[in-house]
């Protein structure tokens, strides 16, 4: 009995909605086989001081994007350009965002690479348009980032741009895939109650008659201590597979996928 209990305790956690795939590209192709009209890709982004492994953005651009050649016509990226026309509000808001997100300087270069690659694929690229009032709305009375207001602003901006592209039939119709790329929060099709206000997922699901798919990209070294993911019943099992060098595609809800990359081997 003691031996049996020891074996049971040593058994790896189960991951019922998990599928081990040979490569990230194989997992991505399984998602594309669902033929969505909107594919909302979300990432758990790199932060300063994180382990030096390829970011989700870099992996998407290098390994997954080629599979979209001839399939995607439009891309909306959750980013914006600084114009310098909004004075102190723009400077303060930009500094506050940088302080809060803690993204490394390399992220900007990786975003530029993504946009360059999609442009070469014939994709019409869109970024968010942020005006002076928007910058002011992102700050609290102390000049610090208002987290809730900023999340609501980004959600609204992406949702508006996506709706605009859909209405123009630039993408999001038969054989015209609309690709969204941003953080793994706003794209949630099944958001947690406390995050529902910040997600455009349910709106886009309705706008496409249920033909929207969420795909989150998980770099194991970035997400292993994430409080929300740790609550998921599949997470421990998926991370064990990742640690063993496996790439895992998780499908916990209809139209919701998470691609967990294999943990990078230590040099």
Instruction: Render each residue's pLDDT in the chain as its tens digit; 267 residues.
Output: 444 444 334 345 678 899 999 999 999 999 999 999 999 999 987 767 778 899 999 999 999 999 999 999 999 999 999 888 999 989 999 888 888 877 777 788 899 999 999 999 999 999 999 999 999 999 998 888 899 999 999 999 999 999 999 999 988 887 899 999 999 989 999 998 999 999 999 999 999 999 999 999 999 999 999 999 999 999 999 999 999 999 999 999 999 999 999 998 764
pLDDT at 266: 61
Host domain of residue 27: 19-85+104-130+147-260
Structural domain tally of the chain?
1
What's the CA gap between 121 and 115, in Å, rounded? Answer: 10
- Inter-residue contact 212 to 36 (CB < 8 Å): yes
| Residue 166 maps to a domain | yes
CA distances (Å), origin 205, targets 48, 216, 243, 261: 34, 16, 34, 26
- Inter-residue contact 145 to 93 (CB < 8 Å): yes
| Residue 189 maps to a domain | yes
How far is residue 69 CA from its own chain's centroid? 20
> Could you give the 3-state DSSP secondary structure of residue 253?
strand
| Residue 224 maps to a domain | yes
pLDDT at 65: 97
pLDDT at 9: 40
> Which tokens go with 250?
């998780």
């Amino acid at each position: 009995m003691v031996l049996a209990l020891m074996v049971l305790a040593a058994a790896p956690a189960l991951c019922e909605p998990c599928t081990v795939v040979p490569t990230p590209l194989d997992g991505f192709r399984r998602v594309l086989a669902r033929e969505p009209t909107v594919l909302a890709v979300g990432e758990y982004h790199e932060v300063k001081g994180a382990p030096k492994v390829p970011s989700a953005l870099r992996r998407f651009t290098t390994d997954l994007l080629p599979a979209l050649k001839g399939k995607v016509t439009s891309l909306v990226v959750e980013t914006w350009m600084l114009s310098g026309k909004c004075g102190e509000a723009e400077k303060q808001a930009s500094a506050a965002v940088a302080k809060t997100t803690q993204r490394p300087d390399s992220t900007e270069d990786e975003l530029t690479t993504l946009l360059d690659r999609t442009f070469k694929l014939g994709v019409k690229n869109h970024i968010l348009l942020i005006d002076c009032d928007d910058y002011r709305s992102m700050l609290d009375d102390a000049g610090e980032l208002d987290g809730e207001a900023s999340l609501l602003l980004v959600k609204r901006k992406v949702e508006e741009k996506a709706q605009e592209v859909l209405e123009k039939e630039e993408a999001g119709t038969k054989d015209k895939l609309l690709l969204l790329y941003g953080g793994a929060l706003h794209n949630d099709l099944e958001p947690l109650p406390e995050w529902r206000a910040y997600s455009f997922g349910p709106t886009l699901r309705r706008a496409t008659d249920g033909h929207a798919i969420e795909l989150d990209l998980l770099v194991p070294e970035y997400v292993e201590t994430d409080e929300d993911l740790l609550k998921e019943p599949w997470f421990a099992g998926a991370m064990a597979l990742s640690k063993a060098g496996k790439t895992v595609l998780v499908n916990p809800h209809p139209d919701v996928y998470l691609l967990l990359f294999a943990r990078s081997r230590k040099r």
